[in-house]
């Protein structure tokens, strides 16, 4: 087997495995090294996203949503169920098999595209003539040489200072996806994406969930109007969200977990829970990469320093995904991976940071692309806004899911779409139309003039575009 490669990718998450496939498609002799192990010690490529992130969380969200529908909404359709139960072990087993299908799919794609896969930890050795030496420490040790290296080593959950994850009571995303029985009381620190998604899963299955958030505002990155609507919906569902808290101490003595915190008014409070998910953001991961060996530059947060095109300070070394600046999203990592492979081939890789969509897979889902209304106001940009509620959408009524709205923000003079924000059913799918529109620099009028199928949720998008000029037809 050749040990000399044109491209060696370290990390097999969405950034790394996609970069490796694209590099191989472009004719490079490519290797991908990934150290993730399944329960049997075998390879499990796909990174955080596949193993303990996007995929398993969506599997559990789906199962728990089915359960909640059966428990609370089937009756409206005339469907009655007796003795409804959830077998959490089976639900978690299904999630594991969905993960495995994805792991196997990536190994198949490597074979199909002739990417050589190494299972183990990759680390920098020394710079050599025309490239770098990369060691792989797995069941066997190997030394590879690479003309180009793409680092895609991802991120790890951030722990609260002095409160390490034990994955039994103090859970990172990993432990949160492995809970074997619905806890009576679940605490979550951080009302961000993971807190809301995982909090929703266990609330739907019957847990009493309290989320403690440090910031005084809810979902500060989202459009304020949309965040407000989402907050209202989550509170109505029974998620307890406390904003503006300061966590002072956490104790795991005794049976559960006790959290001492000051609430928004400064009053001292204690929350007792069976388990605590800590979801306060993630940190870039370069553990074991040995960046010092070659002088690879990191910033003060531990992220690999890259330019707008993912070039590091070293010739021929690139970095993509969660380990570099920018949003920690799988699709952002993938786009960077493709763009870097294409740049190595002398092509013009393209990532438009202004049109990266965000989705939170709660119910209602939250999705957005572009700028928020508060950001436009702060920038002093003249804009027009249009909203359309799902309550006035026929398909949403038929689905029985009328929470939320679509909101358009467009330039006051040119009508160019500046941002689209959705809270409501299938927001994750609906947002794609807005991404396409913004990528093509469309105006709100462009969307308003496109024929949308009836009855469909996407009609709410068209109507919100019409609302920009105050000419909705159905509201």
End-to-end distance of the chain based on CA atoms, in angstroms? 66
The span from the CA of 277 to the CA of 57, in Å, is 14
Angstrom distances, CA of residue 455 to CA of 97, 392, 397, 399: 35, 11, 10, 11
Restricted to residues 146-185, the positions that interact with ligand FAD (CB under 6 A) are: 152-155, 173
Give me the least distance between CB of 221 and ligand NAI, in Å please: 8
Identify the residue among 192, 321, 386, 425 touching ligand NAI (CB under 6 A): 192
- Is position 215 an interface residue for ligand NAI (rule: CB under 6 A)? yes
- Is position 430 an interface residue for ligand NAI (rule: CB under 6 A)? no
Give me the least distance between CB of 58 and ligand NAI, in Å please: 8
The span from the CA of 107 to the CA of 99, in Å, is 13
When the beta carbons of 149 and 351 are compared against ligand NAI, the nearer one is: 351
- Is position 115 an interface residue for ligand FAD (rule: CB under 6 A)? no
- Is position 360 an interface residue for ligand NAI (rule: CB under 6 A)? yes
The span from the CA of 115 to the CA of 30, in Å, is 5
Stretch that binds ligand FAD, among 81-89, 97-105, 246-254, 320-328 (CB under 6 A): 320-328
Residue 453: CB partners within 8 Å, gap ≥ 6?
Answer: 459
The span from the CA of 41 to the CA of 146, in Å, is 27
Q: Which does 195 bind (CB under 5 to 8 A by kind): ligand NAI, ligand FAD, none?
A: ligand NAI
- Is position 7 an interface residue for ligand FAD (rule: CB under 6 A)? no
DSSP 206: T
Query: How many residues contact ligand FAD, by CB under 6 A?
Result: 38
- 3-state SS class at 10: strand
The span from the CA of 317 to the CA of 308, in Å, is 14
Active site residues: 454
The span from the CA of 87 to the CA of 297, in Å, is 48
Restricted to residues 33-92, the positions that interact with ligand FAD (CB under 6 A) are: 33-36, 47-49, 53-54, 57
Restricted to residues 281-320, the positions that interact with ligand NAI (CB under 6 A) are: 281-282
Binding site per annotation, positions for NAD(+): 190-197, 213, 281
- Is position 430 an interface residue for ligand FAD (rule: CB under 6 A)? no
Identify the residue among 32, 144, 359, 376 touching ligand NAI (CB under 6 A): 359
Identify the residue among 35, 68, 197, 335 touching ligand NAI (CB under 6 A): 197
- Is position 32 an interface residue for ligand FAD (rule: CB under 6 A)? no
Site string for ligand FAD, 323-342 (x = CB under 6 A): x----xxxx-x---------
Give me the least distance between CB of 322 and ligand FAD, in Å please: 4
Stretch that binds ligand FAD, among 318-326, 365-373, 437-445, 465-473 (CB under 6 A): 318-326
Closest CA to 426 of 25, 68, 65: 65
Question: Contact, 22 vs 28, CB < 8 A?
Answer: no
The span from the CA of 429 to the CA of 365, in Å, is 10
- Is position 336 an interface residue for ligand NAI (rule: CB under 6 A)? no
Q: Which does 256 bind (CB under 5 to 8 A by kind): ligand NAI, ligand FAD, none?
A: none
- DSSP-assigned letters across all residues of 300-330: TTSPBP--TT-B-SSTTEEE-GGGSSS---H
- DSSP-assigned letters across all residues of 49-116: HHHHSHHHHHHHHHHHHHHHIIIIIGGGGT---SS----HHHHHHHHHHHHHHHHHHHHHHHHHHTPE
Question: Contact, 220 vs 191, CB < 8 A?
Answer: no
**Length of the chain measured in residues:** 475
Backbone φ and ψ of 398, nearest 5°: -65, -35
Q: Which residues bind ligand FAD (CB under 6 A)?
A: 10-16, 33-36, 47-49, 53-54, 57, 121-123, 152-155, 173, 194, 285, 288-289, 321-323, 328-331, 333, 361
Q: Which residues bind ligand NAI (CB under 6 A)?
A: 189-195, 197, 212-215, 247, 279-282, 327-329, 359-361
């Amino acid at each position: 087997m050749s040990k000399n490669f044109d491209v060696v990718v370290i990390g097999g998450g969405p950034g790394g495995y996609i970069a490796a496939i694209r590099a191989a498609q472009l004719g490079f002799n490519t290797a991908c090294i990934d150290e993730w192990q399944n329960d049997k010690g075998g390879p499990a490529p796909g990174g955080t996203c596949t193993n303990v992130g996007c995929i398993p969380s969506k599997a559990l969200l789906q199962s728990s949503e089915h359960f909640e529908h059966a428990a609370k909404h089937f009756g409206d359709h005339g469907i009655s169920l007796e003795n409804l139960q959830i077998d959490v072990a089976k639900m978690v087993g299904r999630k594991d098999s969905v993960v495995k299908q994805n792991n196997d799919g990536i190994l198949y794609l490597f074979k199909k595209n002739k990417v050589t896969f190494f299972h183990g930890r990759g680390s920098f050795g020394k710079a050599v003539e025309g490239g770098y030496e990369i060691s792989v420490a797995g069941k066997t040790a190997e030394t590879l040489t690479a003309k180009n290296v793409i680092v895609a080593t991802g991120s790890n959950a951030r722990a609260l200072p002095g409160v390490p994850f034990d994955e039994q009571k103090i859970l990172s995303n990993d432990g949160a996806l492995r809970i074997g029985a619905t806890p009576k009381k679940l605490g979550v620190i951080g009302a961000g994406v993971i807190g809301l998604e995982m909090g929703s899963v266990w609330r739907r299955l019957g847990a009493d969930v309290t989320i403690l958030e440090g910031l005084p505002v809810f979902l500060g990155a989202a459009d304020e109007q949309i965040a407000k609507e989402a907050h209202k919906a989550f509170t109505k569902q029974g998620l307890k969200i406390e904003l503006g808290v300061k966590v002072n101490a956490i104790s795991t003595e005794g049976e559960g977990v006790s959290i001492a915190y000051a609430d928004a008014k400064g009053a001292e409070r204690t929350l007792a829970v069976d388990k605590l998910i800590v979801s306060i953001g993630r940190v870039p991961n370069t553990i074991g990469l040995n960046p010092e060996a070659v002088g690879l530059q990191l910033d003060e947060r531990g992220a690999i320093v890259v330019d707008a095109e993912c070039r590091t300070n070293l010739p021929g070394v690139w970095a993509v995904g969660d380990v570099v600046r920018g949003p920690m999203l799988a699709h952002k990592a993938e786009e960077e991976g493709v763009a870097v492979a294409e740049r190595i081939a002398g092509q013009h890789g393209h990532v438009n940071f202004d049109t990266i969509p965000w989705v939170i897979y709660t119910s209602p889902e939250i999705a957005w692309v572009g700028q928020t209304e508060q950001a436009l106001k702060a920038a002093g940009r003249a804009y027009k806004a249009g909203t359309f509620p799902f309550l006035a959408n026929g398909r949403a009524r038929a689905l029985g899911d009328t929470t939320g709205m679509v909101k358009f923000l467009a330039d006051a003079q040119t009508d160019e779409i500046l941002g689209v924000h959705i809270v409501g059913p299938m927001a994750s799918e609906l947002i794609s139309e807005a991404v396409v529109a913004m990528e093509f620099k469309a105006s709100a009028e462009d969307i308003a003039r496109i024929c949308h199928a009836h009855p469909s949720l996407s009609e709410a998008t068209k109507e919100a575009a019409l609302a920009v000029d105050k000419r909705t037809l159905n509201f």
